Chains A and B, each alone.
Chain A
Amino acid sequence: MSNSVFSVISRFVEEYRSSTPNKLKVIDAYLLYILLTGVFQFLYCVLVGTFPFNSFLSGFISCVGSFILAVCLRIQINPQNKRDFLTVSPERAFADFLFAHTVLHLVVVNFVG
């Protein structure tokens, strides 16, 4: 059983390395970074305590929000999805991404205290 799982994983990794365009890999690296940052913040909260709670919340929400926006960007930029996003060019997607991030950070900085 574990054999098949392992073979599935290695196949997946191989496919990923070969067929994913570079642009998407850049975004994937970014996604990993965001994920780790969020996990470490949560770990701190679990281990040490929730004081100050508003700061934890704002940092965590920032991670979550950024992750979501980056995923959206990845979806919109992916050439395989081009048919679904005929009106949205990659540059437009990126501009939307930047704007949404501005709003998100405005709220996050307001809440972080």
Chain B
Amino acid sequence: CFYAFVEDLCSLNQCKREQRCVFVTFCPNSCQSIPVSNDTRDLLLATVSEDSTASQIHQSVSALSALGLPLASQEVVSALKARISKEDNVLAIILALLTASRLSQQAELGDILEEIEDLAARLDDLGGVYLQFEEGLEATALFVSAAYSLSDHVDMEPPLKEDQVIQLVNSIFSKKSWDSLSEAFSVASAAASLSNNHFHVPVIVSAQGPAAVSHSHPFLRLQVTDVLCQPLSSASVLAESASAVSSKSAVLSQALFTLRDGVFELNFMASQPASGYYQFSVAIAGDSRFVANHVELKVKVSTRVAINNMDLSVVDKDQSIGPKTTRVEYPTKAKASFMADGHQNFAMTFQLVDETTGVELTPHQTFVRLHNQKTGQEVVFVAEPDSKNLYKFELDTAERKTEFDSISGTYALYLMVGDATLENPILWNVADVVLKFLDEEAPGTIQAKTLYVPKPEIPHLFREPEKKPPTAVSNTFTALVLSPFLLLLILWFKLGANISNFTLSPSTILFHIGHAATLGLMYVYWTHLNMFQTLKYLAIIGSLTFLAGNRMLAQKAKWFPLHFLSFGTRLISQI
């Protein structure tokens, strides 16, 4: 305890009930010298029962054990078991585990110990990489520290398999900053228990700096630590095998790392590996508690490249004149410039080798860049190796004139060599090449490629209205279509369709009005209304017409032809 804290604790007896429990819970055993009143002690003992929550039981048991007061372990165990079955949540069970680790070793802790396995079954497996409770990181971390503290207390290995431990470590240490102090505490507590328990100690292996070796840095350095980043000096690190990723040939087998200044190192360059990537399989031994002690690592071997036999020549196309080859040494530039027009090809050959071993290399990037000093134009080609790893580049001016936009002039020739495994990428101005294209094809002014300039606007074309026939034609046909109506009237007149039997009774008039109104409604529907409004009006007019019509039926007047006549007028709505 901190000394200032001790002073406060002496006034413990005057504190309020709940606060007393909380104060003493996290005190280490040296608090046993603090005087505690009987009142406080009885209060703490009384809290140990089925009616308090698991956290209250945990706090009072911790307080009692920290203060060195006697407590009945069996009672605590039964109270805990009752609480677990009542409060079946993860946090309560974790608190029960923590409480049990404070009890005497003679107590029957078997049932509580089984809870570890039940809780482990509740963990969610996320993609085979993470294992955590759905309650979150804090619960997972507290579970780990509680499980290991109880297992250490009863000296029985916790039922957690190796990959479960690895996945738990992945989850707990996945965050670099935490939301709350309690979350941070739980992670710290889990880290402490994982690095210092009797059963499982996860091992963290990481390369010091980038996992790369070269002639200047021949040692592969590994840091082997526990989860608290304390170096495991007692471990022995063995590279079981190392094989090239590309060719799968084994380079190393059973090589031991030596410990120097807390870091394990191995001189990999001593086995003279070619440049490239290698897959290492490393085993860490030394303690039976080590978990996750087989690791796979990818190591890069870098080298320096040298250019040999750089030969430049101008070859005549019809091969009447023999090629003139000029050799250039890196990093100098060829003194004379080379001329190539439509009748000649410009050619370049070279070899890329490892500086130290002389082995031929094929790096990822071998580019030949031609840069026109005056216009700023730049054209890049790729140089390809043939089967004997000899790089060749040929420029046919006539064939390639589109890339150059047929602009003649002096071009500076650069060779660019690069790769992830090369320590010295190369940019070398090899020579100047004067290219001549047929003049009439050269553009008048050189335009910079307008890629990011606003493009010409596309005007929107509205839908053309359909061609309509001339109005005269439409009018003629309208008249034609309406003409049969006249014919109808004539025929009816001839047949003697009589209007004479027209009796003026209210129902007849109403019927006619209703009928005419329906016709008017149709016209108005065509011009103004929509279907719903029309149906509404139609319902009103229609019902009136119907009632009036019924009445007329009863009167049995000879209204038939007249109404037929009036009905024909409906068909004027035809276009």
Q: In the bound complex, do residue A40 and residue B481 qualify as a contact, i.e. CB atoms below 8 Å apart?
A: yes
Contact residues in A for B487 (Cβ distance below 8 Å): 32-33, 36
What A residues does B499 contact at CB under 8 A?
none
Task: Give complex CA distance A33, B569 in Å.
Answer: 12
| Binary contact readout A78-105 vs B (1 if CB under 8 angstroms, 0 otherwise) | 0000000000001110110010011001
Contacts of B409 in A (CB 8 A): none
Q: Does A41 count as interface, using CB distance less than 8 angstroms?
A: yes
Query: What CA separation (Å) do A94 and B487 show in the bound complex?
Result: 23
Query: SS class of chain A's interface: helix, strand, loop or mixed?
Result: helix
Contact of A27 among B477, B564, B575 (CB under 8 A): B564
Report yes or no: A102 in contact with B561, Cβ–Cβ below 8 A: no
A44: nearest residue on chain B (CB-CB)?
B477
Segment among B191-199, B261-269, B306-314, B488-496 that sits at the interface with chain A: B488-496
Contact of A62 among B515, B535, B571 (CB under 8 A): B571
Q: B571–A26 contact, CB under 8 A?
A: no
CB distance from B356 to the nearest CB of A (A): 86
CB nearest to B531 among chain A residues: A110
A76 at the interface (CB under 8 A from B): no
A13 at the interface (CB under 8 A from B): no
Whether B495 pairs with A112 at a CB distance below 8 angstroms is no
Tally of contact residues, B, Cβ under 8 A: 44
| B491 to chain A: closest residue by CB | A29
State whether B560 touches A90 (Cβ < 8 A).
yes
Give the A interface residue count (CB, 8 A). Answer: 38
| B526 pairs with A44, CB closer than 8 A | no
| B481 and A41 within 8 A (CB) | yes
Q: Is B468 interfacial (CB-CB < 8 Å)?
A: yes
Please, how many angstroms separate the alpha-carbon atoms of A9 and B477 in the complex? 32
Those of B145-166 within 8 Å (CB) of chain A: none
B505 to chain A, nearest CB (A): 15
B543 to A: closest C-beta gap in Å: 12
Contacts of B474 in A (CB 8 A): 48
- Residue from A40, A48, A91 in contact with B484 in the complex, judged by beta carbons closer than 8 Å: A40
Inter-chain contact A112/B542, CB cutoff 8 Å:
no
Closest to A66 in B: B571
B574 touching A62 by the CB < 8 A rule?
A: yes
Contacts of A30 in B (CB 8 A): 488, 564, 568
Q: Which of B484, B526, B549 interacts with A36 by CB under 8 Å?
A: B484
Inter-chain contact B574/A37, CB cutoff 8 Å: yes
Beta-carbon contact of A22 and B571 below 8 Å: no
The 0/1 profile, CB within 8 Å of A marked 1, for residues 464-503 of chain B is 0011110001100100110111011001100111000000
* Contacts of A11-34 to chain B: CB distance below 8 A: 22-23, 25-27, 29-30, 32-34
Evaluate contact between B561 and A63: CB separation under 8 angstroms. no
Task: Report how far A97 CA is from B268 CA in the complex, Å.
Answer: 105
- B residues sitting closer than 8 Å to A (CB atoms) are 466-469, 473-474, 477, 480-481, 483-485, 487-488, 491-492, 495-497, 515, 518, 522, 525-526, 531, 534-535, 538, 542, 546, 549, 553, 556, 560-561, 563-564, 567-568, 570-571, 573-575
When A and B form their complex, which 6 residue pairs have the shortest distance between CB atoms, in order from nearest? A36-B484, A33-B488, A29-B491, A44-B477, A40-B481, A33-B484
Sampled A-B contacts (15; CB under 8 Å):
A26-B492, A32-B487, A36-B484, A43-B477, A91-B553, A91-B556, A98-B515, A98-B549, A102-B542, A105-B522, A106-B534, A106-B538, A108-B573, A109-B526, A112-B575
